[in-house]
Chain A
């Protein structure tokens, strides 16, 4: 898939493109993560995406619609990233990207004004509040997964739980946090 099918004119509009990137950075990272489902890979891809967009901005690229264009650039970066990784490691991780429906999801979210760059600090603050309200066990699971980056077997060994219990517990903790953040955002009148 070509990266730049939406170019209308070569009029330099560096500021708009970079501003749009900054404005949508959380949504773009969310998209990259949703496709990679692995944070380290998502970070790498996101950096490559940032570089690509800044380069395009320098060339004066003006996409007709920023987000669909940026998502396509991101999709191509994800494919490239995993292809390179496969070559380096001599083995291929099966990466099946979600199709159009995922792109639609993120475009819809942007159009609904659900996410903007400026909300980032606030969302993190709300998430901290929600974490503080989690039960001790759920917090332990979240700490082990996100701070210590342990996988399910390691967490199970640490807590003397079954892996299946860790899996269920993490899913439940994530869901609780998600619902809590959304509830707080709604109370604040955010469109999320």
Chain B
């Protein structure tokens, strides 16, 4: 593969080619078997990267099947059973959709070593995952917990883990959970995890990508989102906003406090963008709540927009710097860092924030244990000179957002 083919392939995978570039790429693809092989390899690694980062356990690609045409009420069709049996043997169960009536919904029973459908057909299980999605369907889990997926819900049920917890990924839609005293279940939605605490009845709704609603009718549940968690008790309903997408980023060019607008310029893009700010918008600077008037010009911000395009959250965080720690002097309150990987750069000096925190592999650690020679990632304050957090090793999933 020539360097220019390699560049074309990189740009194609990153979706950065214009029409002419794509046509050229296709022309080269037709003429070069090696490039075709590289395209397949690149696509496979892209798929793996996506799976690895979007699935907590790095599970094989889920293949939930969504509702199609309604079918007869009387249990599973031959085709569905056949497909399910084959799929189970292959490690995947397609849970076929059922029509709206909830009465007598199909029951997939998952016990150690066996799966039954509506009480019949014990099927040897080859240790594969149970992937469930589609219309009204009920999962009866060993331990006395029953989960009923509403029509159009999309979910993936995983094996019971070593601690005896059933984990169900609810990607969208609603699930009703009746947890028995011995049943332990966690319902993970795209942005939070709901753990059922003992015997409980609750309704969990994942509203697309952005929201979660948990309504507990009996018992209690715990919702973890990011680093925070909250317990919900019988008779309560809580709604959680999901992780909003970073819809606008840039440097603050101007803030109009009275008119509630924010004007951003953006890196390589030269045009400025003016955003209206929602009355209830929250603003944070370096992780602490702040007022709109506190936002200095020139600072980099991430603005989360609602569906109408108004800013509902504005976050100003200092940049991150990665490098090798040359020295750290807690008494003087400063450290020195070199950032070059192969050729060390001149040391850059930073002040230590009095509230400095540290993590190792995502776990909170005493900043005093950080020592020279370690490779560190510094989270700076917006002044670009003060270190407020030091991270060493890899972050855990969900952190650093």
Contacts and interface: CB of A to CB of B under 8 A. Distances in A.
Interface of A: 14-15, 18-19, 22, 25-27, 29-31, 33-34, 37-39, 42, 46-48, 50-51, 54-55, 57-59, 94, 96, 98-102, 104-106, 108-109, 114-115, 117, 120-121, 123-124, 127-128, 131-132, 135-137, 139-140, 142-143, 146-151, 153-154, 156-160, 162-164, 167, 170-171, 174-175, 177-178, 181-182, 192
Given A25-B61, A105-B39, A33 B266 contact: no
Contacts of B400: 143, 148
A114 B25 CA distance: 22
B320 A158 contact: yes
Given A58-B82, A108-B40, A153-B266, 8 more contacts: A14-B83, A37-B12, A105-B29, A142-B53, A146-B54, A158-B249, A174-B10, A174-B14
A26 B49 CA distance: 12
A22 B54 contact: no
Interface string B61-94: 1011110100000000101101100110011101
Contacts of B246: 150-151, 154
Interface stretch (B15-23, B198-206, B254-262): B15-23
B40 A109 contact: yes
A40 to B, nearest CB: 9
A22 B62 CA distance: 11
13 contacts: A31-B43, A33-B50, A51-B65, A58-B77, A96-B22, A124-B60, A131-B52, A140-B320, A146-B50, A153-B267, A158-B317, A174-B10, A174-B42
Contact of A127 (B42, B48, B87): B48
Contacts, number: 225
Contacts of A181: 45, 48
A30 B250 contact: no
A108 B37 contact: yes
Contacts of A123: 44, 48
Contacts of A54: 65, 83, 87, 94
A96 B19 contact: yes
A171 B79 contact: no
A160 B39 contact: no
A121 B60 contact: yes
A159 B319 contact: yes
A50 B65 contact: yes
Contacts of B77: 58
B341 A135 contact: yes
Contact of B52 (A127, A157, A158, A192): A127
